[in-house]
Each structure stands twice: as C-alpha cells, then as structure tokens.
C-alpha cells in the first residue's frame, strides 16, 4: 500500500531496526518505545485492521505469535512480555497496517489505560 509507513518499512524504503524477518513477517523496534523493550510484529502483507483478516490469514497470525515467543526467548525475556494489538480508534490505532506490540523489560500494569 503506497502511503502506509509499515509497507514502506517492509520495502526498505524507510529504515527500521529489524530484529527478525522471514518471507511473511517482520519484527522491528518501535520508534517511540513505551517500555525498555518495545517491538512491532507485522505481516508483510498489508492488512489494515483485525477486522480485515480473512480465513487465509490464519497462518500469518500463527507466525506472528511464534515470532513473539522466539524473539522474546532470544532476548532473554523469560520474566514475561505483553503482546497487544490495537484495533481502530477506541484502542488508539495510529498505523492502519495490522501489528502487535511486544512490550517487556519492566512491570506492565493491568488493566492498561
């Protein structure tokens, strides 16, 4: 998608600190970290929100979750992490390319604001 910042990161048109990549997904550092570890996990395919997911995308979601566990293990985050997906305005979604936030490295309060 032409004007999507995450698609531009996928196409390497703008830089990002990539921590994991395969054919289908990308994991990179959030530019404005809200915790000592703040990663974004995205499918390379442009899917605007969770509401736009199709049955055929189920495998992609599995890959994102597996990548979260893999990266967290590699980064020594056994004490824990949070995987969060914001959907539409009430959740504060700013970038309309589906993504999960992986937050870690401090105590994360619940419920979030």
Residue whose C-alpha is closest to residue 40's, from 53, 24, 48, 29: 29
Contact, 113 vs 92, CB < 8 A? no
Q: How far is the CB of 82 from ligand AMP (least distance, A)?
A: 13
| Site track 54-93 with ligand AMP (rule: CB under 6 A), x = hit | --------------------------------x-----xx
Q: Which of 18, 21, 22, 31 binds ligand AMP (CB under 6 A)?
A: 31
Contact, 4 vs 97, CB < 8 A? yes
> Which does residue 103 touch among ligand AMP, Zn ion, none (CB within 5 to 8 A, set by kind)?
none
- Our finding on whether 18 is near ligand AMP (CB under 6 A) is no
- Of these residues, 38, 46, 97, 99, which one is catalytic? 99
Angstrom distance (rounded) from CA 80 to CA 106: 9
- Our finding on whether 16 is near ligand AMP (CB under 6 A) is yes
- Our finding on whether 5 is near ligand AMP (CB under 6 A) is yes
- Tokens at 9, concatenated: 């990161």
Say whether 99 is catalytic: yes
Angstrom distance (rounded) from CA 33 to CA 39: 8
Catalytic residue list? 99
């Amino acid at each position: 998608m032409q004007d999507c910042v995450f698609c531009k990161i996928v196409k390497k048109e703008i830089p990002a600190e990539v921590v994991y990549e395969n054919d289908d997904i990308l994991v990179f550092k959030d530019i404005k970290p809200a915790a000592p570890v703040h990663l974004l996990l995205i499918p390379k395919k442009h899917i605007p929100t969770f509401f736009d997911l199709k049955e055929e995308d189920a495998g992609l979601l599995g890959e994102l979750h597996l990548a979260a566990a893999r990266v967290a293990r590699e980064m020594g985050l056994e004490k824990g992490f949070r995987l969060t997906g914001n959907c539409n305005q009430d959740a504060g979604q700013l970038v309309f390319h589906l993504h999960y936030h992986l937050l870690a490295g401090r105590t994360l309060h619940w419920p979030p604001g």
